[in-house]
């Protein structure tokens, strides 16, 4: 017996179906079977059956359209997501392509310093280059070439060499000057001797009395001294029976002869002796890198450069021996203390005169600079015990960095004038060039630069780009 369904029930079944789901064949079959059975269904007539069929078909059509709409929406959503991913990937591709262009454009953006040799350094004959008014002379590195280019002196060059002024010591005579103290003794005539020290008899000394002490005070007031007579600023001394006697600029024997001549008018055959008790008129100055800078008096014993340095305690470890100078008046004289002290070149052991100034500079300014792709870039003070070569400087810096250096591009930069710089190029990729480097003698303030290998510059650029690319990947992961 067939089941009877009202229109309201059929509409409810149609409405209860999910808009995006298809009803099962069993449910629709029940509806169709029961609606078309030959049982007695007094609730439906023939028109009702037709309406029921139309309702079922309409419901099925709605269900199919709903399912199709949902499928289309899902497809559109998936396609939009694909387009979004494609757009993001395209953006990344464009960015990476731009970065790659930067890398491949040459490694000019690589961090650090590099030397751009240009075509000039590749010519064997050398060439000239002007940059910002500075002239650069580019030459291949050879022993003859380096030795022919003198570096700019750190200080004005002394116009006179010590070897040009060497004098024998046997002609030296001390000349009395203002401020010196003279001691005069007339044998067997104590009344003529210096006041304040008693009578001088045959080299003996008598004890002074109250009168002698008073005479000493008077003598001091008149230019005398407890042990002698001070040469006045006008170059004279006062002596009894002789009066004012000019002694400045004269040697002791000359002063003795003049005093003897003056006293002989009052004393028969006087026996007279003159000595300099205190040397105070002439001085030399020792400054710079000595242990005890001094003002040294000149005496009747000649004073040479080596003597002055010894009396000042010797030189310090930081002394630039080869750069010492002696200033005499308005003339500066170059004194090579290294050759004097270590080679025995006595031509540099000048005899000093009044007012001479010996200056020994610090060797801190005498450095060479090691830069670029070496194991340890540094500034190296030049040694004082001999020449310093390019090979020694490279070794002191730990040698070339085998991972980052370009051994074919070694440069020696030397300031050869106020506005001129000479750049020497050396290919150190062969042992022959290394042997040549040991013959290249460096000058103060030379710059040794070892260039960077091309692959090293490329790697440095890439190392700067990797963090940026990692940031893009993080943005993609976060869905930004």
Residue (of 265, 270, 251, 246) closest to 185 by Cα position? 270
Longest dimension (CA), the chain: 192
Tens of pLDDT, residue by residue over 291-311, are: 999 999 999 999 999 999 999
For residue 479, being part of any structural domain is answered with: no
For residue 463, being part of any structural domain is answered with: no
For residue 113, being part of any structural domain is answered with: no
pLDDT at 1: 44
Give yes or no: residues 350 and 400 share one domain: no
Give yes or no: residues 164 and 296 share one domain: yes
Please report, for the domain that includes residue 423, its CATH number.
3.10.560.10
Whether the CB-CB separation of 439 and 389 falls below 8 Å is answered with yes
For residue 310, being part of any structural domain is answered with: yes
Residue (of 126, 163, 160, 164) closest to 416 by Cα position? 126
Which residues have CB under 8 Å from 319's CB, separation 6+? 288, 289, 290, 337, 360, 361, 362, 363, 384
Boundary of a domain, candidates 364, 384, 404: 364
Q: Is residue 160 classed as helix, strand or coil in its secondary structure?
A: strand
**pLDDT confidence tier of residue 356, bands split at 50, 70 and 90:** very high
Give yes or no: residues 358 and 374 share one domain: no
Tens of pLDDT, residue by residue over 173-221, are: 999 999 999 999 998 888 777 654 444 333 444 444 445 545 455 455 4
Whether the CB-CB separation of 255 and 274 falls below 8 Å is answered with yes
> How buried is residue 157: exposed, middle or buried, by Cβ count under 10 Å (0-12/13-18/19+)?
exposed
Give yes or no: residues 211 and 270 share one domain: yes
Q: Give the start-end residues of each E strand in 40-86.
A: none
pLDDT at 69: 65
pLDDT at 332: 92
pLDDT at 24: 45
For residue 472, being part of any structural domain is answered with: no
For residue 468, being part of any structural domain is answered with: no
Please report, for the domain that includes residue 198, its CATH number.
3.30.1950.10
**For residue 397, pLDDT beyond 80:** yes
**For residue 32, pLDDT beyond 80:** no
pLDDT at 117: 47
**For residue 31, pLDDT beyond 70:** no
DSSP state of 440: -
Give yes or no: residues 197 and 331 share one domain: no
Residue (of 232, 206, 210) closest to 220 by Cα position? 232
Q: Is residue 67 classed as helix, strand or coil in its secondary structure?
A: helix
Tens of pLDDT, residue by residue over 131-178, are: 777 777 788 877 776 666 655 554 544 555 555 555 555 678 999 999
For the sheet containing 324-328, what is the strand order? 160-161, 331-335, 324-328, 357-360, 283-288, 294-297
**For residue 78, pLDDT beyond 90:** no
Residue (of 420, 462, 430, 447) closest to 128 by Cα position? 420
Tens of pLDDT, residue by residue over 236-272, are: 999 988 899 999 999 999 999 999 999 988 888 889 9
Give yes or no: residues 295 and 166 share one domain: yes
Task: Tell me the residue range of the domain where 199 lies.
Answer: 175-276
Give yes or no: residues 266 and 300 share one domain: no
Cα–Cα–Cα angle for 133, 139, 140, rounded to 5 degrees: 155
Boundary of a domain, candidates 343, 364, 385: 364
Give yes or no: residues 307 and 389 share one domain: no
**pLDDT confidence tier of residue 287, bands split at 50, 70 and 90:** very high
Here the tokens at position 146 are 């380096």
**For residue 330, pLDDT beyond 60:** yes
**For residue 417, pLDDT beyond 50:** yes
Give yes or no: residues 166 and 287 share one domain: yes
For residue 325, being part of any structural domain is answered with: yes
Give yes or no: residues 183 and 266 share one domain: yes
Give yes or no: residues 374 and 447 share one domain: yes
Candidate ranges 73-82, 170-179, 181-190, 349-358; pick with highest mean pLDDT: 349-358
pLDDT at 151: 55
pLDDT at 83: 55
Mean pLDDT on 315-339? 91
pLDDT at 333: 93
**pLDDT confidence tier of residue 326, bands split at 50, 70 and 90:** very high
pLDDT at 20: 44
Candidate ranges 27-31, 95-99, 301-305; pick with highest mean pLDDT: 301-305
Whether the CB-CB separation of 403 and 377 falls below 8 Å is answered with no
Domain total in the chain: 4
Give yes or no: residues 65 and 194 share one domain: no
Whether the CB-CB separation of 371 and 115 falls below 8 Å is answered with no
Boundary of a domain, candidates 276, 299, 328: 276
For residue 459, being part of any structural domain is answered with: no
């Amino acid at each position: 017996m067939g089941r009877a369904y009202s229109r309201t029930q059929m509409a409810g079944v149609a409405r209860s179906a999910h808009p995006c789901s298809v009803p099962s064949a069993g449910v629709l079959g029940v509806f169709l079977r029961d609606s078309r059975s030959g049982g007695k269904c007094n609730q439906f007539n023939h028109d009702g059956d037709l309406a029921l069929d139309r309702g079922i078909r309409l419901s099925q059509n709605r269900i199919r359209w709903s399912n199709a709409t949902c499928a289309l929406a899902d497809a559109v959503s998936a396609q939009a997501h694909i387009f979004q991913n494609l757009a993001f990937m395209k953006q990344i591709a464009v960015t990476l392509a731009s970065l790659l262009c930067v890398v491949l454009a040459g490694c000019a953006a690589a961090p650090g310093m590099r030397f751009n040799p240009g075509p000039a350094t590749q010519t064997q004959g050398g060439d000239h280059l002007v940059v910002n008014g500075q002239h650069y002379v580019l030459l291949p590195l050879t022993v003859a070439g380096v030795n022919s280019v003198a570096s700019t002196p750190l200080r004005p060059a002394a116009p006179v060499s010590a070897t040009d002024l060497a004098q024998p010591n046997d002609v030296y005579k001390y000349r009395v000057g203002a401020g010196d103290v003279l001691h005069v003794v007339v044998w067997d005539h104590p009344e003529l001797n210096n006041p304040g020290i008693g009578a001088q008899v045959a080299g003996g000394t008598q004890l002074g009395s109250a009168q002698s002490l008073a005479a000493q005070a008077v003598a001091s007031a008149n230019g005398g001294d407890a042990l002698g007579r001070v040469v006045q600023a006008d170059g004279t001394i006062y002596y009894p029976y002789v009066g004012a006697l000019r002694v400045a600029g004269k040697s002791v024997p000359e002063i003795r002869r003049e005093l003897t001549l003056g006293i002989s008018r009052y004393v028969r055959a006087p026996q007279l002796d003159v000595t300099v008790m205190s040397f105070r008129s002439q001085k030399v100055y020792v400054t710079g890198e000595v242990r005890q800078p001094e003002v040294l008096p000149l005496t009747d014993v000649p004073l040479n450069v080596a003597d002055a340095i010894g009396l000042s305690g010797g030189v310090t470890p930081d002394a630039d021996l080869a750069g010492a100078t002696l200033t005499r008046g308005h003339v500066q004289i170059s004194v090579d203390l290294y050759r004097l002290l270590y080679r025995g070149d006595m031509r540099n052991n000048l005899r000093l005169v009044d007012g001479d100034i010996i200056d020994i500079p610090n060797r801190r300014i005498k450095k060479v600079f090691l830069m670029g792709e070496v194991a340890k870039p540094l500034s190296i003070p030049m040694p004082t015990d001999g020449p310093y070569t390019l090979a020694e400087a490279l070794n002191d810096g730990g040698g070339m960095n085998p991972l980052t250096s370009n051994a074919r591009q070694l440069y020696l930069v030397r300031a050869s004038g106020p506005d001129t710089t000479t750049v020497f190029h050396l290919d150190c990729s062969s042992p022959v060039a290394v042997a040549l480097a040991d013959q290249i003698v460096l000058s103060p303030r030379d710059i040794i630069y070892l260039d960077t290998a091309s692959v090293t510059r490329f790697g440095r650029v890439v190392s700067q780009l990797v963090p940026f690319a990692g940031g893009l990947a993080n943005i993609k992961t976060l869905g930004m």
